[in-house]
Amino acid sequence: MRRVMLLVAYDGTNYCGWQVQPNGRTIEGELNLALSELFGREIAVTGASRTDAGVHSYGNVAVFDVDTRMPAEKISYALNQRLPEDIVVQLSKEVAANFHPRHQKSKKTYEYRVLNREFRDPNRRIDTYFYYRNLNIEAMQRAAEYLVGEHDFKSFCSIKAQVETTVRKIYTLTIERQGDIIVIRIAGNGFLYNMVRIIAGTLLQVGSGERKPEEMSGILEALDREMAGPTAPACGLTMIGIEFE
Amino acid sequence: MRRVMLLVAYDGTNYCGWQVQPNGRTIEGELNLALSELFGREIAVTGASRTDAGVHSYGNVAVFDVDTRMPAEKISYALNQRLPEDIVVQLSKEVAANFHPRHQKSKKTYEYRVLNREFRDPNRRIDTYFYYRNLNIEAMQRAAEYLVGEHDFKSFCSIKAQVETTVRKIYTLTIERQGDIIVIRIAGNGFLYNMVRIIAGTLLQVGSGERKPEEMSGILEALDREMAGPTAPACGLTMIGIEFE
């Protein structure tokens, strides 16, 4: 048995998220199906980031065990021939037999992309959230500074989440305008349920002038989901990549 | 009666091109339908660029005549509520009653976008053509120089075209790498049927080393479609915009 790691890119628009569900197509489900077909026996992957319905990925990570002579590097090509066009494996390689993508310490990076212009652009609708109001990038950047570091992010976590601790560490959080797209890029040691989307929703409130950057410290201290802004739509969120220690 | 101009963006993936057809959905058809619904009588637009099936647009131009009290600037908003999500009017404004988008002299700009990396990227599949072989940008740029200026582009025109003259003028033709996307940007006083896609297909042959840049002058002189490269796929082509004199 060898453990193989996959780097998986997907357009999440037409999926009910990563995790296998009784009803509806999922990224994990499609990978399991293609792998089981390829190797002629049931195979199930373990994913690093169980992204939500509609969320995209550039570099999510999954592992599985298999007994095969096929070189690990070739599996990506064979798999892509069996996957739908909105899921594309970017890399496959052998890893240590005890490598687990969720138990390993890691740095995860996400991007929330806002298409900030007067009208929608049909050619950029896959992985952006359209927002037509003017945004003050500098105010968003000042607000973002409050979130960098180790904090209890309970205010930025869906109340549906069941976790032992809501303390997480954000390494970097930058806001940059690239033409008419505003990229909110966030790297941390882990993210709570909906955390990046709630941060994006709150930063959009600051950018549009509904809230002041200084309010961020009060929101953090409150440890209350009601205090933060709305959960920004899934379509703007992309899992960029994961670095393992 | 007032003449109104529309700036129209669309993802052409799911359309049989611009022009109304007996079978299949078209951009022109969808615009006519939405306008006729909006104004309660049959309206038909005249387009500047009758793009092919699968070709995208950022700024194609259409005009129509209407007798309405609605301010011309508001028509875009009303129209977008009736259009599918892959067609978005970016601007509407009144123009002179004798303005005709195809008879007026103009400068048209197109982009052909090549996603040049080892694996497909599902989030950028709408308006790029995936090409995994290494491309020599500098060779492509040297080849492009042969095409700039006024030439008979018969070699770069589909044999299906029926036109009086195959002489056209290219103002600029640039090739630029933006990350892993190679952008071929071309501006001219008009383009023959499939001309941009045949130029892109030929430049890709040069970039991949199949052909030398110097061959371009011989291809031009031959006045023979067989001498140029293949017609690059429609998905990579976007009509960027039109400037009228």
User: Predicted ipTM?
Assistant: 0.91
Q: From CA A222, how far away is CA B22, in angstroms rounded?
A: 62
Q: From CA A174, how far away is CA A41, in angstroms rounded?
A: 44
Q: Are A11 and B123 in contact (CB under 8 A)?
A: yes
Q: Per-residue pLDDT for B169 more than 90? A: yes
Contacting A with CB below 8 Å, chain B residues are: 9-11, 56, 58, 76, 80, 85-91, 118-127, 238
Which chain A residue lies closest to B126 (C-alpha atoms)? A123
Could you report the per-residue pLDDT of A201-238, keeping only the tens digit for each?
999 999 999 999 999 999 999 999 999 999 999 999 99
pLDDT at site B63:
97
Report pTM. Answer: 0.93
B2 φ/ψ angles, rounded to the nearest 5 degrees: -125, 150
Nearest to B128 by CA among B117, B140, B137: B117
> A223: which 2 tokens?
């440890």
Q: Per-residue pLDDT for A26 more than 90? A: yes
Q: How far is A74 from chain B (nearest CA, A)?
A: 13
pLDDT at site B62:
97
Q: In 3-state terms, what secondary structure has residue A126?
A: coil
Q: Are B44 and B61 in contact (CB under 8 A)?
A: no
pLDDT at site A86:
97
pLDDT at site A163:
87
Mutate to test the interface with A, among B73, B88, B90, B123 (most CBs of A within 10 A): B123
Q: From CA A163, how far away is CA A108, in angstroms rounded?
A: 18
Which chain B residue lies closest to A122 (C-alpha atoms)? B86
Mean pLDDT of A134-154: 98
Give chain B positions within 8 Å (CB) of A56: 122-123
Cβ contacts of A238 within 8 Å, gap of 6 or more: A55, A56, A57, A58, A110, A111, A112, A113, A127, B123
Give chain B positions within 8 Å (CB) of A121: 9, 58, 88
pLDDT at site A184:
98
Q: From CA A199, how far away is CA A175, in angstroms rounded?
A: 12
Q: Per-residue pLDDT for B160 more than 90? A: no
Half-sphere exposure of B130 (CA within 13 A, CB side): 12
Give chain A positions within 8 Å (CB) of B88: 119-122
Mean pLDDT of A118-137: 96
Half-sphere exposure of A232 (CA within 13 A, CB side): 28
Q: How far is CA A217 from CA A67, A143, A192, in A?
A: 52, 9, 18
By DSSP bridging, strand A237-244 and strand B181-188 are unpaired
**Is pLDDT larger for residue A36 or for residue A162?**
A36
A53 φ/ψ angles, rounded to the nearest 5 degrees: -55, 130
pLDDT at site B20:
96
Q: In 3-state terms, what secondary structure has residue A44?
A: coil
Could you report the per-residue pLDDT of A69-96, keeping only the tens digit for each?
999 999 999 999 999 999 999 999 999 9
The number of C-beta contacts closer than 8 angstroms across A and B is 69
> B37: which 2 tokens?
């619904």
Nearest to B45 by CA among B69, B10, B14: B10
Nearest to B177 by CA among B209, B145, B212, B139: B139
| % pLDDT > 90, chain A | 95
pLDDT at site A64:
98
Could you report the per-residue pLDDT of B183-209, keeping only the tens digit for each?
999 999 999 999 999 999 999 999 999
> B244: which 2 tokens?
């009228």
> A88: which 2 tokens?
């594309």
Q: Do B56 and A123 touch (CB under 8 A)?
A: yes
Would you place residue A136 in the very low, low, confident or very high pLDDT band (cuts 50, 70, 90)?
A: very high
Q: Give CA angle at A137 (A136, A142), nearest 5°.
A: 105
Q: Per-residue pLDDT for A161 more than 90? A: no
Q: Per-residue pLDDT for B134 more than 90? A: yes
Q: Per-residue pLDDT for A162 more than 90? A: no
Q: Per-residue pLDDT for B163 more than 90? A: no
Instruction: Answer yes or no: A52 catalytic.
Output: yes
> Helix H segments across chain A?
27-39, 75-80, 137-145, 195-207, 215-222
For chain A, the average pLDDT equals 96
Mean pLDDT of A59-63: 97
Nearest to A170 by CA among A235, A110, A102: A110
Would you place residue A104 in the very low, low, confident or very high pLDDT band (cuts 50, 70, 90)?
A: confident
Could you report the per-residue pLDDT of B21-79, keeping only the tens digit for each?
998 999 999 999 999 999 999 999 999 999 999 999 999 999 999 999 999 999 999 99
| % pLDDT > 90, chain B | 95
Could you report the per-residue pLDDT of A209-219, keeping only the tens digit for each?
999 999 999 99
Contacting B with CB below 8 Å, chain A residues are: 9-11, 56, 58, 76, 80, 85-91, 118-127, 238
Q: Are B180 and B140 in contact (CB under 8 A)?
A: no
pLDDT at site B77:
97
